[in-house]
Structure 1
Amino acid sequence: MNTVPEDYIIEAQGLSKHFHGFAAVQDVNLKIRRHSIHALIGPNGAGKTTVFNLLTKFLQPTAGTIRFNGRDITNVKPAEIARQGLVRSFQISAVFPRMTVRENVRIALQRKLGTAYHFWKSVSTLSVLDDRVDELLDSVGLRSFADYSAAELPYGRKRVLELATTLALEPEMLLLDEPTSGLGHEDVDRVAALIRKVSANRTVLMVEHNLSVVSSLSDRITVLAAGRILAEGNYETVSRDPRVIEAYIGGTDDE
């Protein structure tokens, strides 16, 4: 059956990025199917993070176009991309350490409402957000940690809190940069299960090194090597591709 254009939430065509003459990404054509979990993998130095930054507009492409929900967003700023429903989390946990877990999520909800910088408002005026805060904390298993400062949380729980603050923005598409990086086995399982849970009715694109997580979560995988797409397909297909095996064996350590 032919796939109609509306089936893809993001389409990148001829995406390239050069740094002082070095081609970090070269002629990448990428389509992300709506309501899927899509993984972007490859050996170190493959260009994964560069592609991620291009899609989220933290880098401007040297060439190529990016469309989100059919709109050309090639020259759109990151803040506007987020308002359109394309939201990313970062490889390093990005929370306010001196605020409580509850306060971190509330700030994210205020950002969604456009009141994040209304510091003169009393806490009582923000109580209307409390039900949604509790709902989000319940959904990610952090309700019992609501009154902890973010700094007190174990690293794995901080990553979960970051995901909760990202979900507070109600993204249509969620981009996750190394969501299980630095986590112990138990936390990896917890975060992977959470990604599966929050993927309902939204699209997820993740850059991830843990191939066990990739194999268990991903509907489709794009493999990058030397800034180009090497292979695409489900995990069984790409894991057996001789080019993919060779790329991982010969991978360098420059990203």
Structure 2
Amino acid sequence: MSQLPNSHYILETRNLVKSFGSFVAVNGLSLRVRPGTIHSLIGPNGAGKTTAFNLLTRFLQPTSGQIFYKGQDITHFGSARIAQHGMVRSFQISAVFAHMSAHENVLVALQRKKRCVYKFWLSESILKPLHEHADRLLDSVGLLADRGTLAGQLSYGRRRALEIATTLALEPEVMLLDEPTAGMGHEDVGRIADLIKSASAGRTTLMVEHNLSVVADLSDSITVLSRGQIVAEGSYAEVSGNPDVMSIYLGTTDV
């Protein structure tokens, strides 16, 4: 009989493997994420981080292994069912509707949460609470002044902020962020890091992030991957001082 998932973890994988032919992208991943924490997944390019995210959110089918969410085996759930259960992902490349305003983008997400088709012509009595909720979400990410601006006209950093607002509109219990600060300047990185911290209050965040300064500032726990395997776990102080991690990032040995 297989061992039950640990009730102390909101998200857990058991010996997760993903192979593409002879190439093993994720090799025996046993990840454990505690509820209410910010947990970062880091590693060099090609370490398997995004593949792991694709497995967790069911955009990829694992070759073997299991995924548990709140104690339930979700290994064979579809991606839509995963989101309905409260695990919502944002992507490395901003995924917003460029030809819709910031406000309309959030309205789409709010109506999706209510499982109804987005319609501009719903009665005012129905739309008013949604408009107000959308404005509160935009305000929470510093975009209320840009509510009427087309998403495609926003700066890259502001589009990522909008994506966080649309993610929050889905009321996730677990928020998965894939490289949220990729391609940003210093000022935008600081703004998005602050948004992630505030958005993570009262929920669990699993984050793939390349900016180690952001990882150090935000993370409660860190998992380091290399070649699809975990090489270290713990706080930033613990993993940054780990000889295997130092060799991966500094190239002191062949790991």
TM-score exceeds 0.5: yes
Structure-2 change in CA distance of 1:121 and 1:248 (3 Å):
same
Compute the displacement of 1:126 (Å).
2.4
Amino acid at match of 2:108: I
CA contact (8 A) 2:27 2:229 kept: yes
Tell me the equivalent position of 2:66: 65
Tell me the equivalent position of 1:156: 157
- Matched position secondary structure for 1:5: coil
In structure 1, C-alpha distance between the alignment counterparts of 2:205 and 2:221, rounded to whole Å = 11
1:226 equivalent to 2:227? Answer yes
In structure 2, C-alpha distance between the alignment counterparts of 1:165 and 1:103, rounded to whole Å = 10
Compute the displacement of 1:85 (Å).
0.1
In structure 1, C-alpha distance between the alignment counterparts of 2:31 and 2:217, rounded to whole Å = 21
- Matched position secondary structure for 1:74: coil
Compute the displacement of 1:118 (Å).
4.8
Q: Where do residues 28-67 of structure 1 align in structure 2 (5 Å cutoff)?
A: 28-67=29-68
Structure-2 change in CA distance of 1:69 and 1:170 (3 Å):
same
In structure 1, C-alpha distance between the alignment counterparts of 2:224 and 2:118, rounded to whole Å = 44
Number of residue pairs the alignment of both structures matches: 247
Compute the displacement of 1:128 (Å).
2.9
Compute the displacement of 1:205 (Å).
0.3
Amino acid at match of 1:25: V
In structure 2, C-alpha distance between the alignment counterparts of 1:118 and 1:154, rounded to whole Å = 25
Amino acid at match of 2:101: T
Amino acid at match of 1:30: L
In structure 2, C-alpha distance between the alignment counterparts of 1:38 and 1:138, rounded to whole Å = 26
- Please, what is the CA RMSD of the aligned residues? 1.5
1:246 equivalent to 2:250? Answer no
Q: Which runs of 4+ in 1 moved over 3 A?
A: 118-125
Tell me the equivalent position of 1:130: 131
Amino acid at match of 1:140: V
Compute the displacement of 1:123 (Å).
6.5
Q: Deviations over 1:214-237 (max 9, x none)?
A: 000000000000110000010011
Structure-2 change in CA distance of 1:208 and 1:118 (3 Å):
closer
1:86 equivalent to 2:94? Answer no
Amino acid at match of 1:158: R
CA contact (8 A) 2:112 2:118 kept: no
Tell me the equivalent position of 1:23: 24
Q: Deviations over 1:81-127 (max 9, x none)?
A: 00000000000011111111100000000000011x25474473423
Structure-2 change in CA distance of 1:147 and 1:22 (3 Å):
same
Compute the displacement of 1:152 (Å).
1.4
- Matched position secondary structure for 1:6: coil
Normalising by structure 2, report the TM-score.
0.94
CA contact (8 A) 2:48 2:227 kept: yes
Structure-2 change in CA distance of 1:176 and 1:120 (3 Å):
closer
In structure 1, C-alpha distance between the alignment counterparts of 2:177 and 2:250, rounded to whole Å = 25
Identity %: 56
In structure 2, C-alpha distance between the alignment counterparts of 1:226 and 1:39, rounded to whole Å = 17
In structure 2, C-alpha distance between the alignment counterparts of 1:118 and 1:96, rounded to whole Å = 13
Compute the displacement of 1:62 (Å).
0.4
Structure-2 change in CA distance of 1:186 and 1:120 (3 Å):
closer
Tell me the equivalent position of 2:98: 97
Tell me the equivalent position of 2:107: 106
Show structure 2 runs of 5+ residues with no match.
Answer: none
Structure-2 change in CA distance of 1:106 and 1:123 (3 Å):
farther
Show structure 1 runs of 5+ residues with no match.
Answer: none
Amino acid at match of 1:49: T
In structure 2, C-alpha distance between the alignment counterparts of 1:109 and 1:118, rounded to whole Å = 9
Compute the displacement of 1:130 (Å).
1.2
